[in-house]
Chain A
Amino acid sequence: GQNIDQPTEMTATEGAIVQINCTYQTSGFNGLFWYQQHAGEAPTFLSYNVLDGLEEKGRFSSFLSRSKGYSYLLLKELQMKDSASYLCAVLDSNYQLIWGAGTKLIIKP
Chain B
Amino acid sequence: GAVVSQHPSWVICKSGTSVKIECRSLDFQATTMFWYRQFPKQSLMLMATSNEGSKATYEQGVEKDKFLINHASLTLSTLTVTSAHPEDSSFYICSARLAGGEIREQFFGPGTRLTVL
Contact B103 A43 (CB under 8 A): no
* Inter-subunit contact B104/A41 (CB<8 Å): no
- Tell me whether A42 and B111 are in contact (CB under 8 A): yes
User: How distant is the Cα of A99 from the Cα of B42 in the complex, in angstroms?
Assistant: 10
* A12 sits at the interface (CB 8 A): no
B14 nearest CB across to chain A (Å): 23
Name the distance in Å between A70's Cβ and chain B's nearest Cβ.
Answer: 19
Judged by a CB distance under 8 angstroms, whether A7 is at the interface is no
Q: Which residues of A contact B93 (CB under 8 A)?
A: 42-43
Closest to A35 in B: B108
Residues on A with C-beta less than 8 A from B34 are 97
Interface size for A (C-beta < 8 A) is 20
Measured as residues with beta carbon below 8 angstroms from the partner, the interface class of chain B is: 10 to 19
Tell me whether B108 and A40 are in contact (CB under 8 A): no
Of all chain A residues, the one with the shortest Cβ separation from B4 is A42
The secondary-structure label for the interface of chain A is loop
Is the C-beta of A106 less than 8 angstroms from some C-beta in chain B? no
* Contact indicator A31/B46 (Cβ below 8 Å): no
**In A68-99, which residues have CB < 8 Å from any B CB?**
87, 91, 95-97, 99
Flag B79-108 by CB within 8 Å of A: 1 or 0 each. Answer: 000000000000101000000000110111
Going nearest first, the 10 A-B pairs with the smallest beta carbon separation are: A42-B111, A101-B43, A42-B108, A99-B43, A99-B44, A95-B103, A102-B43, A42-B93, A42-B110, A43-B108
- A-B pairs with beta carbons under 8 Å apart, 29 shown: A30-B103, A31-B104, A40-B91, A40-B113, A41-B110, A42-B93, A42-B109, A42-B110, A43-B44, A43-B93, A43-B108, A45-B107, A45-B108, A48-B104, A50-B104, A87-B43, A87-B44, A91-B103, A91-B104, A95-B103, A96-B46, A96-B49, A97-B34, A97-B46, A99-B43, A99-B44, A100-B43, A101-B42, A102-B43
